[in-house]
Amino acid sequence: MYDLSDRLVFITGASSGIGAACAEAFARAGARLLLCARRTERLTAVADRLRRAHDADVYTLTLDVRDDDAVQEAYAGLPPAWQAIDVLVNNAGLSRGLEPAYANTTDQIDTMVDTNVKGLLYVTRAVVPGMVERGRGHVINIGSTAGHGVYPGGTVYCATKHAVGAITRGLKQDLHGTPLRVSTVDPGLVETEFSLVRFDGDAERADAVYDTTDPLTPADVADAVRWCASRPPHVNIQEIILMPTAQSSPSMIDRDDDAG
């Protein structure tokens, strides 16, 4: 087993949902946490909670992963003790809208591609060279079942998550011959703010996605991420796909109202 105590774990998109749950799981394991997101207040609240509950050593960065200059500067400006990242969890991501691809706005397309694909690559290119130099490190990408299939209205989002799968497999090959590890954890339906963001703040529509079924919790996903990171150094978990029992494919979800 790889002991996570005092390891430095960088989690992007840690102000809510899966990212915040990963921060909690790694804090429980005794890791030091570097957390980023755009919403400073939400991020600070997560950090304060972890300090209080787990006496965790936490450093926060208000950062938009879509801004490559900001990402590179933020990393370069970290105190040296916070640069030697052992585990990078590339979690920041979102979906915008549920329209056919031909009806998506430019803003929706750019936001999804820039965050889920380009942002992930910007953070990776900031952090991985140091891992290679130090001869240790683990990149864990948060993909999705949307990276294994497609569903109507999810075309662009699914394309970005297919890209995350390609980046995971490609990066592992790029790092061939080094001790670095690369994994992807690909969940199905998880109850987070994901649908609230997808539906532009329409809480009623977002709640309906989760209220009629039994989705995964962010903690379920964080458990898989922490498990991946804690395997012995010679074990690389390439991919974990986890779905609620009530889900059998990206678009097959057992819902309470199905029988009616």
| Catalytic residue set | 157
Looking at beta carbons only, is 32 or 199 nearer to ligand NDP? Answer: 199
Does position 146 bind ligand 8X3 by CB under 6 A? yes
Stretch that binds ligand 8X3, among 46-54, 83-91, 119-127, 143-151 (CB under 6 A): 143-151
Nearest distance from residue 116's CB to ligand 8X3, in Å?
10
Rounded distance between C-alpha atoms, residue 30 and residue 69, angstroms: 31
Residue 18 Cβ vs ligand NDP, minimum distance, rounded to whole Å: 4
- Pick from 88, 112, 171, 190 the residue near ligand NDP by CB under 6 A: 190
Which residue in 190, 194, 127, 115 sits closest to 160, CA to CA? 115
By a kind-dependent CB cut-off of 5 to 8 A, residue 65 interacts, out of ligand NDP, ligand 8X3, none, with ligand NDP
| Contact flag: residue 13 with ligand NDP (CB under 6 A) | yes
Query: SS3 sequence, the chain?
Result: CCCCCCCEEEEECCCCHHHHHHHHHHHHCCCEEEEEECCHHHHHHHHHHHHHHHCCCEEEEECCCCCHHHHHHHHHCCCHHHCCCCEEEECCCCCCCCCCHHHCCHHHHHHHHHHHHHHHHHHHHHHHHHHHHHCCCEEEEECCHHHCCCCCCCHHHHHHHHHHHHHHHHHHHHCCCCCCEEEEEEECCECCCHHHHHCCCCHHHHHHHHHCCCCECHHHHHHHHHHHHCCCCCCCCCEEEECCCCEEECCEECCHHHHC
Q: Which of 60, 108, 115, 124 binds ligand NDP (CB under 6 A)?
A: 115
Kindly state whether residue 154 participates in binding ligand 8X3, applying the rule CB under 6 A: yes
Q: Name the residue with tokens 């102000």.
A: 15
Shortest distance in whole angstroms from residue 110 CB to ligand NDP: 11
CB of 42 to ligand NDP, least distance (A): 5
Which of 77, 233 has the CB closer to ligand NDP?
Answer: 77
Q: Tell me the closest approach of the beta carbon of residue 209 to ligand NDP, in angstroms.
A: 8
Q: Is 153 in the site for ligand 8X3 (CB under 6 A)?
A: no
Is 148 a residue that touches ligand NDP (CB under 6 A)?
A: no
Q: How far apart are CA 67 and CA 96, in angstroms?
A: 19
Which parts of this chain interact with ligand 8X3 (CB under 6 A)?
144-146, 154, 157, 189, 194, 250
- Residues in touch with ligand NDP (CB under 6 A): 12-19, 37-39, 42, 63-66, 91-94, 115, 119, 142, 144, 187, 189-190, 192-194, 197
